[in-house]
Chain A
């Protein structure tokens, strides 16, 4: 038996997609900015012979070859990194144009994109965190030492070496670890390392570049963390694709999600219901709650019970989706 539940509220959905767009543009415009000087260093300065990582092009007997060099080890990457095949033949370019914003070489334009979406990413993320702190959602996926202890069991479960998932609550330990490290480690560090490259902030906060071991180290950290986001995104998209693509996509677009009706899910739902206390929202929220707000709040908190909501707010499920979902064999559905 399956139940349609309201899983993601409007704020979660909106901030999710703004975040997705911002991250994509930040990553791609960042690669274009990197193309202006495709070398990485440790320390304060960029002495030409001290780069530990480079993407470059070299002319070999009239043949332009692209390469990636890491600590003296060099591999040929012609056609992808260093040298790109274009309409007018091969040309030197660290990251290819299909990976950068804009696709043509423009440091000025990529910086404009990067800073605008940097602000959007920051403000959107700040709004998301503050809102979820206020409604108490954040602690549901905050990784505690107890969760860390369950990680081997979770991995074993994923590898089919264990029948029972160690998951308690809405998120499993691996999800909690992934989300918590993104929120507490990767995002703050990517912002700080970005700010550490700013000359004005070097004046305001002398300690900032020094914290990373110098401005060039900060640049390197910023670059590595960008790929940390990429790894996270790949993992996230992989989970969406494997854990019910249509169902997950629908829940992040419309909010509605088909959930298996199992004893375990029922138990979770009961817990969620019992946890919900309107007074947690604070006196102002109670006082000024309009009807619409009340409805949103009940959707928010009571993510389980479609039966409490007016029937007309539940959209008719697309004809094919239930068929897809019935094929799902897993007992525990995992949120990406």
Chain B
């Protein structure tokens, strides 16, 4: 009798209940959060944080301020490439062998003067060199020295129309399903002094794995915004009609369009 009583003592009941609760919590929690994560209403509520991030962070940043620049000694031994493999088309491979002699950058969309630039023409424009830190959304960072032409310089030449709100970068690389990489930034980031179309990394032409012949550097944003293998730049009023409509390859898969954090 006394044994039985001990079994059903308040303490045992409490401990048992707590154990059951934590076991339930662990497996149940996961199911609940997984369910919520794929629920569209919950997702759209969670996504409201992106608006706050963008508004508050932009408010805190004066337009003339620059991202931290580093010294030559800080440059990483290897600039880690990430994302899609380099374009494998015969056209790209052949052109890469000729230092992209045939490659042209097409600038079009809502602009007064659409234009095409060869690599030599871009290199002839005023350039900017910066040693900056590249921050991947995954959490890692590398430092590299970039040389390129400011996007503002290109904008001065093509003159975006007043209704142009975003700059879309069409890229040559594709994922395993054949979907082309693309990205978009707004005119605030496009006009930033450190936003450049880079053709040199660490004093050498941008290597194929890092986005040859031309890649974007937008130092206010995480790595996935820095479009590689750029072929075409388009000025648009909205990116809703491009691919899945979220403004970029990774954005279409749930990542934030505003990648300032």
- What's the minimum C-beta distance from A167 to chain B, rounded to whole angstroms? 27
**Would you call A28 and B133 a contact (CB within 8 A)?**
no
- Give the A-B pair count, Cβ closer than 8 A: 147
- The answer, yes or no, to whether B143 is at the interface (CB within 8 Å) is yes
A108 to B48 Cα, complex, angstroms: 14
Q: Which residues of B contact A113 (CB under 8 A)?
A: 33, 37, 46
In the complex, which of the residues A46, A116, A197, A216 contacts B261, with contact meaning CB atoms closer than 8 Å? A197
- The answer, yes or no, to whether B120 is at the interface (CB within 8 Å) is no
A103-B34, A215-B135, A215-B141 in contact; A202/B68 too (CB < 8 A)? yes
In the complex, which residue of chain A has the Cβ closest to the Cβ of B260? A200
**Would you call B219 and A199 a contact (CB within 8 A)?**
yes
Q: Which residues of B contact A201 (CB under 8 A)?
A: 57, 60-61, 260-261
**Chain B, 1-44, contact with A by CB distance < 8 Å: what is the 0/1 string?**
00000000010001000000000001101110110111000010
Interface window among B83-91, B98-106, B107-115, B250-258: B250-258
A324 to B133 Cα, complex, angstroms: 59
A199 to B66 Cα, complex, angstroms: 11
**Would you call B30 and A103 a contact (CB within 8 A)?**
yes
In the complex, which residue of chain A has the Cβ closest to the Cβ of B189? A200
In the complex, which residue of chain B has the Cβ closest to the Cβ of A47? B76
Q: Which residues of A contact B72 (CB under 8 A)?
A: none
- What's the minimum C-beta distance from B231 to chain A, rounded to whole angstroms? 25
Q: Which residues of B contact A245 (CB under 8 A)?
A: 14
In the complex, which of the residues B34, B46, B260 contacts A198, with contact meaning CB atoms closer than 8 Å? B260
Q: Which residues of A contact B61 (CB under 8 A)?
A: 200-201, 203-204
- The answer, yes or no, to whether B161 is at the interface (CB within 8 Å) is no
In the complex, which of the residues A44, A102, A108, A200 contacts B70, with contact meaning CB atoms closer than 8 Å? A44
**Chain A, 98-131, contact with B by CB distance < 8 Å: what is the 0/1 string?**
1001111011110111011011000000000000
- The answer, yes or no, to whether B203 is at the interface (CB within 8 Å) is no
- What's the minimum C-beta distance from B17 to chain A, rounded to whole angstroms? 11
**Would you call B34 and A210 a contact (CB within 8 A)?**
no
Q: Which residues of B contact A116 (CB under 8 A)?
A: 45-49
- The answer, yes or no, to whether B220 is at the interface (CB within 8 Å) is yes
**Chain A, 157-188, contact with B by CB distance < 8 Å: what is the 0/1 string?**
00000000000000000000000000000000
**Would you call A215 and B37 a contact (CB within 8 A)?**
no
- What's the minimum C-beta distance from B254 to chain A, rounded to whole angstroms? 4
**Would you call B37 and A109 a contact (CB within 8 A)?**
yes
- The answer, yes or no, to whether A257 is at the interface (CB within 8 Å) is no
- The answer, yes or no, to whether A261 is at the interface (CB within 8 Å) is no
**Would you call A107 and B37 a contact (CB within 8 A)?**
no
**Would you call A200 and B261 a contact (CB within 8 A)?**
yes
A33 to B139 Cα, complex, angstroms: 8
Binding site for A on B (CB under 8 A): 10, 14, 26-27, 29-31, 33-34, 36-38, 43, 45-50, 52-53, 57-58, 60-62, 65-68, 70, 74, 76-77, 80, 133, 135-143, 192, 219-222, 250, 253-256, 259-261
Q: Which 7 A-B pairs have the closest CB atoms?
A: A200-B260, A108-B254, A37-B139, A102-B37, A103-B30, A198-B261, A46-B140
15 more A-B contacts (CB under 8 A) besides A46-B139, A111-B137, A203-B219? Answer: A25-B33, A37-B138, A44-B70, A44-B143, A45-B141, A47-B77, A48-B80, A108-B255, A109-B254, A115-B52, A199-B67, A200-B220, A202-B67, A204-B60, A204-B61
Binding site for B on A (CB under 8 A): 25, 28, 33-34, 36-37, 39, 44-48, 97-98, 101-104, 106-109, 111-113, 115-116, 118-119, 195, 197-206, 209-210, 215-216, 219, 245, 324
Residue contacts A-B, CB under 8 angstroms, 13 given: A45-B143, A102-B37, A104-B37, A108-B254, A108-B255, A112-B49, A112-B254, A115-B53, A116-B46, A198-B57, A199-B220, A201-B61, A202-B219
